[in-house]
Amino acid sequence: MTQPSRVAIVTGAARGIGAATARKLAADGMAVAVVDLDEAACAETVKTISDAGGTALAVGADVSDPAQVTAAVERVVTELGPPTVLVNNAGVLRDNLLFKMSDDDWETVMAVHLRGAFLFSRAVQKHMVDAGWGRIVSLSSTSALGNRGQANYAAAKAGIQGFTKTLAFELGRFGITANAVAPGFIATDMTAATAARVGMSFEDFTKAAISQIPVGRAGRPEDVANTVSFLVSDGAGFVSGQVIYVAGGPRA
């Protein structure tokens, strides 16, 4: 337990990358607010952390809703203490080729990824400024470089990179760093849903992905969690405004 007094918020932490990140930050010694749309869905992540001797709190909130974000952060302050680590991880896909992409497909993806990261970062930065220390990590993606069928998602994930660099400029003087992690193919429910959408079994979809990945395997949620763990550590205090691709190669 290296940082016993730190409080972290991880959004979209009921499953996938967020759940692995919440577990890792708890193992690093942080008290972790496990935020997801449905509070009950956070129970498994919270139990895993508690069973391992850590501290976690399940918080239901839609990251795209300003009132719910404010209420969630207030609850974290009351029940765990002021948060000084934030991981903007909640995400959704609404993939479609441009000519078939609906207004709602576009707005939903922008709202969850971009407005969600904005609302949570704005709500927690005060506590970080008060503490003179803070860490914000937001999930981008290799799709930020462009990906067929993902005009909305690619735009949002590229937006996360510009958002992150701007936070790094604005908040650095308060001891706060902001970085983005951009995963490639990570085996989660999200990639399983993509396989289903393109009519492939998850096994075949994963094999096809691996054939393009230099290290020759699919990514695991823990690969991303380990990178986040470094970026939110004391030792990463001179790393800010960066995008770390966690993709088994330069791009996958």
Minimum distance between the CB of residue 196 and ligand NAP, rounded to whole angstroms?
13
At residue 178, φ and ψ (nearest 5 deg) are -135, 125
Torsion of the alpha carbons at 181, 186, 188 and 191, rounded to the nearest 10:
110
Per CB under 6 A, the list member of 83, 91, 134, 149 interacting with ligand NAP is 91
Residue with nearest beta carbon to ligand NAP: 16
Applying CB under 6 A, does 33 fall inside the site for ligand NAP?
no
Q: Which stretch binds ligand NAP (CB under 6 A): 24-32, 72-80, 127-135, 186-194?
A: 186-194
Q: Which stretch binds ligand NAP (CB under 6 A): 2-10, 163-171, 187-195, 236-244?
A: 187-195
Applying CB under 6 A, does 186 fall inside the site for ligand NAP?
yes
Size of the site for ligand NAP (CB under 6 A): 27
For residues 3 and 108, which CB has a smaller minimum distance to ligand NAP in the complex?
108
Nearest Cα residue to 111 out of 154, 156, 150: 156
What is the pairing mode between strands 176-183 and 56-60? unpaired
Applying CB under 6 A, does 225 fall inside the site for ligand NAP?
no
Q: Using CB under 6 A, which residues numbered 95 to 124 contact ligand NAP?
A: 112
Q: Which residues are CB-contacts of 162 (< 8 A; sequence separation ≥ 6)?
A: none
Give kind and range of the element (H or E) at residue 225: helix 221-231
241/231 Cα distance (integer angstroms) = 11
Applying CB under 6 A, does 188 fall inside the site for ligand NAP?
yes
Minimum distance between the CB of residue 4 and ligand NAP, rounded to whole angstroms?
27
Per CB under 6 A, the list member of 5, 38, 196, 237 interacting with ligand NAP is 38
Are residues 228 and 25 in contact, defined by beta-carbon separation less than 8 angstroms? Answer: yes
Catalytic residues: 153
Q: Using CB under 6 A, which residues numbered 71 to 90 contact ligand NAP?
A: 89-90
Give kind and range of the element (H or E) at residue 196: helix 189-197
Are residues 166 and 146 in contact, defined by beta-carbon separation less than 8 angstroms? Answer: no
| Cα-to-chain-centroid distance, residue 105 | 20
Minimum distance between the CB of residue 27 and ligand NAP, rounded to whole angstroms?
18
Nearest 5°: CA angle at 45, between 43 and 47?
65
195/98 Cα distance (integer angstroms) = 19
Applying CB under 6 A, does 64 fall inside the site for ligand NAP?
yes
Minimum distance between the CB of residue 74 and ligand NAP, rounded to whole angstroms?
17
87/71 Cα distance (integer angstroms) = 17
For residues 89 and 229, which CB has a smaller minimum distance to ligand NAP in the complex?
89
Q: Which stretch binds ligand NAP (CB under 6 A): 23-31, 168-176, 179-187, 234-242?
A: 179-187
